[in-house]
Amino acid sequence: TLLTKGFNVAKNSAAQAWRPLATLLAVIVALGVWSYLGPIHSPKLGLDLRGGTQVTLTPKVSDGTITDDQLKQAVDIIRQRVNGLGVSEAEVSTQGQGNSAAILVSVPGVSEQGIADVLKQTAKLAFRPVEELAAGTPASTTTATPSGSATATASATPSASASAADKVYAPFESDSNDAALQAAFANIDCTDPAVRQGGVPDDPTKWVVTCSKDGFSKYLLQPAFIEGTSIDNASAGVPQGGTTWLVTLDFDSEGTQKLADASTLLYKQTSPKNQFAIVLDGLVSSSPYFSEPILGGQAQITGTFTQQEATDLANILKYGALPLTLDIAEVTSLSPTLGQDQLDAGLLAGALGLLLVVVYLLLYYRVLGLVAVFSLVVAAIITYLAFIVLGGQLGFSLTLAGVAGAIVAVGITADSFVVYFERIRDEIREGKALKAAINAGWDRARRTILVADFVSLLAAAVLWWLSIGSVRGFAFTLGLTTLIDIAVAFLFTRPLVVLFGRNKWFSSGASMTGLDPKRLGVTSIAVPHARSTFAESKGE
């Protein structure tokens, strides 16, 4: 009866060993399908492998705390400015929070000096009287309704000197309202995103043809009557007893006088000439109209604003210039050739290191070492698929630092195998049968594995929190591969060793198994009797 029970429990334990293997296989298949159906089918490479420039900006802190709104507004302005360079796949993101935050600007294919010059400039905000207004399509006579409750119709005829095939980019400047400016206004196509990239500070003393940020409208604008430096404060809110959102502006003394003069002149005009455009970096953010002269230095912009729209407009007015003083902490410029050479060298070093690890495992652990090799292969497959999925879904880019993190993780993963295998050997030296040694060895090894991996995760988290730039790529990859190591150890290595332990030849302790009694310093591997088989299987 005991033998029968022992066989049944052992049979059930074998089934339990297959379950985690099936689970891991399902995960790999799911990642494979996800990567196949996703937007990319290979890991997304960072700029150090593609070539370009990476700039790390750090805020200069004097008093107070940097807010998330300030960081968001700075990122929006910088992104618009970088997009104005006409490059694709530019990335502007924040790292960290508060006073320890940094802004990372990554631009492929732009020279180091070019991007540095762009980022050193201060975004310009200006208020310009509207001369003409039309829908964003070329040579249109369609009515356009800008934000700020103003409606106008404009008709334009292309100049003979302007071809319909010519592309006009915003902002287009001229010293006067001449034929070239009129032709540009007629031909500009604001519905084309390339036309309204913005990011180019306009000259406040010149006439301008430009677009609204959404591309629905195009404008012919007079020289600016107020620049953004004259705004003391801007806030969004709902007036007492009101229901609609508005934006309140406060001007300094110089701005107060200029606003009074401009509003006194413009409010008498017919639409659209009673409107003024709020222009940030060459694009129109809003175009309200004057309903009366504004003499006290405080104005309100009303319209059909949502809370978010009013808040965004207030931020543009308040932070027309960058809301933070930013220092260029680091500028890194790499050519694709240099990045590829470094990648090749890193992969070669990783391959040699991996080969040495595999040779050591096979020579020292023999067949048991095959389990480690298979585990490394599985971990590599999962890591590669994870890079593809994260690149497509979250924009994760694999950098040289990330490659280094993945190579370091090979040692961490191999260390988990060594800990487990040595625990099994220790249990055999104490006289336990192989199956019991596999169970007891795992009970002791898994705590060590989890503690070691926790230390690696903690180190990765600290690096991620405190570092900026490419070091974060190393930290992220190290943390990701450490989690994969835990999954492989529990869902693949452990079940595979259990299945190997059920093999009669492997249980014999032959020299090629890696459990040769002579090498372990014992006379033989203990063979359990019926009662111990039941107990060990039950524990399994």
pLDDT grade for 539, boundaries at 50, 70 and 90: very low
Specify the DSSP class assigned to residue 40: -
SS in 3 state form for 463-494? HHHHCCCHHHHHHHHHHHHHHHHHHHHHHHHH
The predicted pLDDT at position 214 comes to 87
CA angle, residues 381, 482, 410, in degrees to nearest 5: 60
pLDDT surpasses 70 at 176: yes
Specify the higher pLDDT residue, 306 or 142: 306
The predicted pLDDT at position 194 comes to 81
Question: In 3D, which of 502, 514, 509, 503 has the Cα closest to residue 540?
Answer: 502
Dist CA 40 CA 380 (whole Å):
19
Specify the higher pLDDT residue, 341 or 130: 130
The predicted pLDDT at position 188 comes to 93
For 158-167, the pLDDT digits (tens) are 333 334 446 8
pLDDT grade for 468, boundaries at 50, 70 and 90: low
Q: 218 with 185: CB under 8 angstroms?
A: yes
Dist CA 324 CA 271 (whole Å):
37
Helices (H), 46-151: 47-50, 68-83, 112-120
Mean pLDDT of the chain: 78
pLDDT grade for 5, boundaries at 50, 70 and 90: very low
Dist CA 106 CA 159 (whole Å):
41
For 285-335, the pLDDT digits (tens) are 889 898 889 888 888 888 778 887 787 777 777 766 666 777 788 887 766
Specify the higher pLDDT residue, 527 or 417: 417
Q: 67 with 315: CB under 8 angstroms?
A: no
pLDDT grade for 385, boundaries at 50, 70 and 90: very high
The predicted pLDDT at position 167 comes to 83
For 250-267, the pLDDT digits (tens) are 989 999 999 999 999 999
Tell me the average pLDDT across 43-71. 77
CB-based contacts of 353: which residues, under 8 Å, 6+ apart? 407, 410, 411
Name beta bridge partners: 68: none
Q: 485 with 453: CB under 8 angstroms?
A: yes
Listing DSSP states for 149-211 in one string gives T--B-------TT--TTPPP-SSEEESSS-HHHHHHHHH--TTSTTTT----PPPTTSEEEEE
